[in-house]
Amino acid sequence: MNYETIIYDVEDGILKPVYFTNRNHSLELVARYGRTLSGPTTAMITTRGYSYLNKPDDFFYLDYVGGVTGLRSYPFFAVGGQSTAFARFSLLTPLMRAIDLQLGANTIDKIYAHLFFETGNGWGGPLQIGDNLKHGLGGELRIAFNRNYLMPMKFFVSTSYGLNRFSVTLPDSFVTESEDNRVTYGREFLFYFGLTFDFDFL
């Protein structure tokens, strides 16, 4: 990956950008496997591994894996590093199917429950969050519906809880409540909701 970083020189009271290019190389592996347990209930494992080959030592280039598409039990910038990995173990089961409920231009079709346990961490770089795996668990409600009779839509609302508590020291440019720029994550409920065309990225 190529990133252009901009810094500025002051010449005669005018800011003039100075451009230079950083080249980072990385490897990424994403995998997902699902299997029917009983009837319509399905178990699924979602994994992702990422590693820089040249190990850039800068907050900007770290791979962050928190948030709704990664470790949902922790905020996006809480877990990251030069190398990262996480796995989510999910149980998905329908609560209601073939609902056929009309609400304005929307036709509610199915409602699913999604329960999950997840674990992962980031290693290397300036975050210094420790080498131990960070665990979390959560639940999600998924609603599949059609918009205007032809557009398939998906709505989700979920909550998750991080089982580990840890602190991160942020750069001086970050504004925090503490004077030492330390922010503590974990052991709190996080909530997400969204509207998509499919649940694949979740």
pLDDT digits (tens, 9 = 90+) for 38-60: 889 999 999 999 999 998 888 88
What span, in angstroms and rounded, lies between the C-alpha atoms of 58 and 126?
Answer: 7
Residues in Cβ contact with 128 at an 8 Å cutoff, skipping those fewer than 6 apart: 168, 169
pLDDT tens digits for 120-174? 999 999 888 999 999 999 999 999 999 887 888 999 999 999 999 999 887 777 7
Torsion of CA 145, 148, 152, 157, to 10 degrees: -40
Tell me if the pTM is above 0.85.
no
Q: How far apart are CA 29 and CA 65, in angstroms?
A: 13
Residues 191, 161: contact at Cβ < 8 Å?
no
DSSP state of 199: S
